[in-house]
Amino acid sequence: MSDKPLHPRTRAVHHGIRRSQYGEMAEALFMTQGFSYDSAEQAEARFINSGPDEFIYARYGNPTSRMFEDRIANIEGAEDAFATASGMAAVNGALMGFVKPGDHIVSSRALFGSCLYVLDLLARFGVEISYVDGTDIEQWRAAIRPDTKAVFFETVSNPTLEVIDVTAVAQLAHAVGALVIADNVFSTPVYSRAIEQGADVVVYSATKHIDGSGRCLGGVICGSRHFVREVAEPYLKHTGGAISPFNAWNMLNGLTTMDLRVRAQTDSAMKFATAMEDDLKLPRVIYPGLASHAQHDLAMRQMGAGGTMVAVDLGSKDAAFKAMNRMRIFQISNNLGDAKSIVTHPTTTTHQRLSEETRLQLGITPGLLRLSIGLEDAGDLIEDFRQALA
């Protein structure tokens, strides 16, 4: 055996497995909230200091959840990970566990609605937040101060697919000792090199590409062992943000096929976006893999691919609704990263709570459709969209 590091796809199948005395092949589902001790002394000792394979209570940790944490941390290139009940529990845990009143955070403005809610919550507790246009490095430079504690952004924003330059933002943040927290859902762990590029903490909604079949909610915080175990975990384990072992078990299985799925979905997304632009001649097709995307070069440098999400503008809400109602394969829903292709109208659903002014500032026009490309045949998806527009 050579010492050549294993490919992430190999690690995604094997890493982190813990086998019981039965030697089961598949990852075991330890559907238990508690653990029994051999003696009162052992219970006492474990509450003082529990080792990596010693568990107390599933809100603190569980063998199945730990397998998922080890596997995703390994794929992401992070020292450790804490698995959470949802992506939002991960965003909340990474931020709330870290900041205190009076701290200053700089955040990209183009965020998922619930991420904006968490930042509003922090502001309510006396954290100062400065919002910037995340694609403009000069705005980051102007907003980051010597006392800035953290920067936060979605590496690829929802739903307009703006790409944030992780390396450039991290350089500015690290110059003042600020922590870089990246919500990396749209990049997916397959195309992420966020830690190598300078992110300190990477959060995922595992609900999306990690599960990949739209079954379970889950999330994960990846980072240094210190951040994960000393900052995020105490907050999450005491406030009830841990993942269910059942969901962690589904996520573990999701990771084994994630690379294949996400690459196939990305190939189809590229074909789909190309057809929208070249054949259907839609005036506004947003896909980081297309040369027409404003940050195409950055996307290629940072991720090496365009990802699984596409956005198109049909000009008006009426045109968007008509097309959605005619689609047969694309399902009208609001998840993403699913095996089933999904069409979402952000203005009236995921981003409904924003003011019209903010929506337009973010490029969320009334005719905009967000498309999550699934595992169906790309030709069938293109044809479904074509007939919906006819």
Ligand X SMILES: *Cc1c(COP(=O)(O)O)cnc(C)c1O
- Which residues of this protein are in contact with ligand X, per CB under 6 A? 86-88, 91, 112, 114-115, 154, 158, 183, 185, 205, 207-208, 217, 219
Shortest Å distance, C-beta 38 to ligand X: 38
Shortest Å distance, C-beta 138 to ligand X: 24
Q: Which is nearer to ligand X, 27 or 211 (CB)?
A: 211
Q: Which is nearer to ligand X, 369 or 382 (CB)?
A: 369
Q: Are 223 and 78 in contact (CB under 8 A)?
A: yes
CA atoms within 13 A on the CB side of 278: 9
Residues 6+ apart with CB under 8 A from 130: 104, 105, 106, 107, 143
Q: Which is nearer to ligand X, 154 or 200 (CB)?
A: 154
- CA dist 215 and 338 (Å) reads 9
Q: Which is nearer to ligand X, 64 or 84 (CB)?
A: 84
Shortest Å distance, C-beta 56 to ligand X: 26
CB atoms within 10 A of CB 385: 26
Q: Are 105 and 128 in contact (CB under 8 A)?
A: yes
- Sign of the alpha-carbon torsion through 105, 109, 112, 113: positive
Shortest Å distance, C-beta 217 to ligand X: 5
Q: Which is nearer to ligand X, 148 or 155 (CB)?
A: 155
Residues 6+ apart with CB under 8 A from 189: 72, 75, 76, 204, 209, 210, 258
Shortest Å distance, C-beta 350 to ligand X: 9
Shortest Å distance, C-beta 36 to ligand X: 32
- CA dist 188 and 155 (Å) reads 10
The amino acid at 339: A
Q: Which is nearer to ligand X, 231 or 243 (CB)?
A: 243
Shortest Å distance, C-beta 250 to ligand X: 13
Q: Are 306 and 277 in contact (CB under 8 A)?
A: no
Q: Which is nearer to ligand X, 19 or 353 (CB)?
A: 353
Shortest Å distance, C-beta 212 to ligand X: 13
Shortest Å distance, C-beta 152 to ligand X: 11
The radius of gyration of the chain from alpha carbons, rounded to an integer in Å, stands at 21
Nearest to 370 by CA among 309, 317, 318, 324: 309
- CA dist 16 and 83 (Å) reads 14
Q: How far is CA 169 from the centre of its chain?
A: 18
CA atoms within 13 A on the CB side of 352: 7
Q: Which is nearer to ligand X, 212 or 219 (CB)?
A: 219
352's tokens: 């409904």
Q: Which is nearer to ligand X, 120 or 380 (CB)?
A: 120
The amino acid at 91: V
Q: Residue number with the shortest CB distance to ligand X?
A: 87
- CA dist 295 and 365 (Å) reads 20
